[in-house]
Homo-oligomer: A and B are copies of this chain.
Amino acid sequence: MGEFDLIARYFKRPVRRAALGVGDDCALLAPRAGHQLAISSDMLVAGRHFFPEVDPRALGHKSLAVNLSDLAACGARPLAFTLALALPEVKQRWLAAFADGLFALADAHHCELIGGDTTAGPLNICITIFGEVPVVDGRSQALLRSGAKAGDDLYVSGTLGDARLALGALLGQASLPAEVLAKARQRLERPTPRVALGLALRGVASAAIDVSDGLLGDLGHILECSTVGATVEVDIAASLIAASAYSESVGGQFLINLPEPQRRRLVLCGGDDYELLFTAPATARAAVQAAAQASQTPVTRIGQIDAAPGLRLIDRQRQALPNSYASFDHFA
C-alpha cells in the first residue's frame, strides 16, 4: 500500500467544518467572526512518550488527547487538527486501530482531521491542533499562563500521579496489584483532556496550564510568566493520587502501600497527568465550583499564589518542606 492509498484509506473523511480538508496542498480553515484560533503542536516519539508495543488504539487516543489538553489549558473549543505520521512500515491492523482510537476522541470533541503528511521513518506522531477562542471588545478570552496574581487560589483538576505510577510498574521499578495497575495504566495511556473544564473556566480562572511535565514544573511556568510565587499544600495534592482511592473504595482489596515520600513525588513531579492547573481570585471560589460542576470535573484547591517569588511547599501541619523535586525534562 502506497502513501496516497494509505491516506485515503485510513485518514480521509468527508469535510465538515473546514472549508477544505485532506487531499490538497493546504487545508482551508477560518475561525468564526469574533474568534481567533488557538494553535498547539505536540510530537510523540516511540520509546520516549510511549512504549513501541503500546495498544495502537490507545496511542491514537493519547496523541490527540495531549493536544486537546493544550486547547483546554487555553479555554479553546476544539475545531480541527493536522496529523503527520512517520511509520517504520505499513501495518494495516496497526493503522486501523490507531485511526479508530484517534477518531473516537476526535469525534467526541467535534474536532476534524483536515490534513497532514505520512512518511516512512522511526515511529513519530506530530499533531497540530486548532481551537476557537472568542475575542470580546478586542480582548482575547484565552486562558494564559501569565495572569496569576498574589492572593489567587491555586487549583488542580482530577487526579495526579497515577500515570507515573503505572509507568514505574511497566518499567519494572515497582510492582502493583493487577487491578490497580490496570486503572493507573488507563491514566497513562488514555488521559482525559479537560476541555469542558477549560471552557467553563473562561472569565473565571486568572491563569492556567496543563500538567504534562509534572505539577511543580508546570506550576513553575505559571510563576515565571506571571512573575509571582506560590505556596503548595503538599499533602492535599498528594491525596489526589487515585490509586489509594481505588484501594479504599473496595475495602482494601486493591490495597497498595505507597510510602508518603513516594506518593508526594508521584504527584508533584510525575508528569503525563493532563490535568488543568489554574489560579483564580479568592472571590471566585463559587464560580470555580460552578465551573467544576458544569463540566463534571472535580477540582481541588492545593495552595495559593504569593507576591514573593519562588515556590514554597508545606505539609499538613503547615510546616515548610524542602523542595527536592525536579520536573521532567526531555533532554535532562
Contacts and interface: CB of A to CB of B under 8 A. Distances in A.
Interface string A78-94: 00001111110010000
B28 A36 contact: yes
Nearest to A198: B25
A140 interface: yes
Interface stretch (A120-128, A165-173, A232-240, A251-259): A120-128
Contacts of A26: 38-40, 70-71, 73-74, 76, 131, 142
Interface string A30-69: 1100011111111101111100000000000000000000
A115 to B, nearest CB: 6
A171 to B, nearest CB: 17
A321 interface: no
B43 A37 contact: no
A210 interface: yes
B41 A115 contact: yes
B19 A116 contact: no
A20 interface: yes
A2 interface: yes
A23 interface: yes
12 contacts: A26-B73, A28-B133, A28-B140, A29-B36, A29-B39, A39-B114, A43-B85, A45-B86, A45-B120, A86-B124, A122-B124, A124-B126
